[in-house]
Amino acid sequence: MTVRPSAARRCGAVGAAGAAALLLAGLTVPARADTGYAAPTITLSADHLSGAVEGSGDPTVTADVEQAGVPAGFLRLQVVSSSNPAVAAVDDVRQERTPEGDRRLTVRARAQGYTDLTLRVTGRGGRTATAVLSYAASARTAAPATRYLTGSSDASAAVDVGGNYALVADDESNVLRLYDRSRSGAPVRTWDLGPALGVKKEADIEAAARVGDTVYWTGSLGNNKDGKYKAERNTVFTTRITGSGATTEVTFTAAYKGLREDLVAWDGANGNRYGFAAGTAAGEVPKQIDGFNVEGLEFAPGSTTTAYLGFRAPLAPAVPGGKALLVPVTNFDKVLSSGAKAVFGPGIELDLGGLAVRDIRKNAANQYLILAGSWAADDNSDPYALYQWDGIPGHAPRKRADLPTGDPGGWEAIVSVPDLRVPGARVQLITDNGAADLYGDGTEAKDLTHPEWKKSRSAWFALGPIRGGHR
């Protein structure tokens, strides 16, 4: 039998005589892949990925495909199966080449839920390898310009660090995460401050304020959800920021662990006007109308010493329709720098339509935005609104927007405040999704096994015309 040239080339590894014998016997000549090429490999930057139905800018995963002696460009990567095509089918996965020759994968979600996507790389000689990407899709949201910050679902405070980046805290850990504000995906950097704080459990970080290169952070200062005192939550601390944007560095500087006691003593000396002693008593949960829970922090206009503590609870008075409460700490810088006991100014009571402070942030022009929400624990569907304020006690805030509440998660953090004089000025907000069932299986986001599936939402909102209040 005459061997065709192409077959003869494939036979080199077994020798001409051996190949001819195999062909005469009607057997297939072994491909060179079985003897001349190593098996290819697939290495995923993460083997779990999340997305959203009709999502924009969803997170991506990178597949590094290799075969010894073969340029990556010659390797073929395919998605060969989906365990749940109703969530995402084979054709819903897109890939693009990176400058390094890797493949960047994005998934278009069809429906909420989970699916396992099997990837196969085919190399020279027909050699193959497979890997599985476990994908989770959350439901479509109504909020505009939604992005997802993955790695944590319980975002609670954010600080703009320039270059379109933000430092974000969550109330379920002591980790600060640096995110690109314009993209969905994992943090660029993380810093675990637990060892520096000397705590093993979460400090329940709820708010932050920046002065120069110093960022002040505060825990909720309240009891936990079971009404138990947890010392970790009674923490305020500072970090120092160097660099900016993607090159931001964070260094722990100081902590103070007596602000709750200082507040209770001050309120007691003033006739228990706000019920702080009762709100912090054993068995009292923080998220009730007469509870005790701090969720806002910002400095007074033009000041680097006086900071406003914004309370989610109590209302003042602690009845439906009561006013939101700010308490000025007039020596907040000294509290952190030298451990001085806190000194307080008169409480500031603001009419936010019966809502409480969930965040407060100002810009360099001393224009404030207050994120107002319910004091209640089941507030994902309760009203939220944005109010403009000038930071001056006795001046009324003015509503600028009502926020949508139909999507999972509660609005929790203002990243930065735009120039509020500009018509249609836009502000970026972040949600706490910890209690949300993101993927329709009854699991709260904070309890998900994989950090890539945990995520908070970020969205931009245009501010409407000023409504009411002091100018």
- pLDDT value of residue 57: 82
Contacts of 174 (CB under 8 A, 6+ apart): 192, 193, 194, 197, 199, 202, 203, 205
Query: What burial letters (b/e) apply to 311-343, b meaning 16+ CB within 10 Å?
Result: bbbbbbebeeebbbbbbbbbbbbbbbeeeeebb
C-alpha to C-alpha distance for 241 and 257, rounded to whole angstroms = 22
192, two tokens: 């675990």
pTM above 0.85, yes or no: yes
Report the relative pairing of strands 323-329 and 348-350 from DSSP bridges: antiparallel
- Dihedral of the alpha carbons of 290, 293, 296, 298, in degrees to the nearest 10: 100
Write out pLDDT tens, residues 438-464: 999 999 999 999 999 999 999 999 998
- pLDDT value of residue 142: 83
Query: What burial letters (b/e) apply to 212-240, b meaning 16+ CB within 10 Å?
Result: eebbbbbbbbbbbeebeebebbbbbbbbe
- pLDDT value of residue 101: 79
How many CA atoms are closer than 13 Å to the CA of 134, on its beta-carbon side?
8
- pLDDT value of residue 58: 86
Write out pLDDT tens, residues 164-202: 999 999 999 999 999 999 999 999 999 999 999 999 999
Contacts of 422 (CB under 8 A, 6+ apart): none
Distance (Å) of CA 441 to CA 74, 113, 114, 340, 342: 41, 8, 9, 49, 46
Contacts of 53 (CB under 8 A, 6+ apart): 109, 110, 111, 112, 137, 138, 139, 140
DSSP symbol at 65: E
C-alpha to C-alpha distance for 102 and 41, rounded to whole angstroms = 12
Amino acid at position 234, single letter: N
- pLDDT value of residue 282: 98
The three-class DSSP label of residue 168 is strand
C-alpha to C-alpha distance for 215 and 237, rounded to whole angstroms = 8
- Dihedral of the alpha carbons of 394, 293, 427, 210, in degrees to the nearest 10: 80
C-alpha to C-alpha distance for 46 and 183, rounded to whole angstroms = 17
Report the top-level CATH class of 41-138. Answer: mainly beta
Nearest to 300 by CA among 254, 331, 257: 331
Amino acid at position 390, single letter: D
* Percentage of residues in the chain having pLDDT higher than 70: 91
- pLDDT value of residue 406: 87
Domain boundaries, the chain: 5-30, 41-138, 147-462
Report the top-level CATH class of 147-462. Answer: mainly beta
How does DSSP assign 68-101, residue by residue?
A: TTB-GGG-EEEEEEES-TTT--GGGEEEEE-TTS
Query: What burial letters (b/e) apply to 260-272, b meaning 16+ CB within 10 Å?
Result: bebbbbbbeeeee
Give per-10-residue mean pLDDT for the chain (471 aa): 34 38 36 69 96 89 95 93 98 91 94 98 96 97 85 97 97 97 94 96 97 98 97 98 98 98 98 98 97 98 98 98 98 98 98 98 98 86 94 97 91 97 95 96 96 95 77 41
- pLDDT value of residue 190: 98
Helix (H) or strand (E) holding 462: strand 455-462
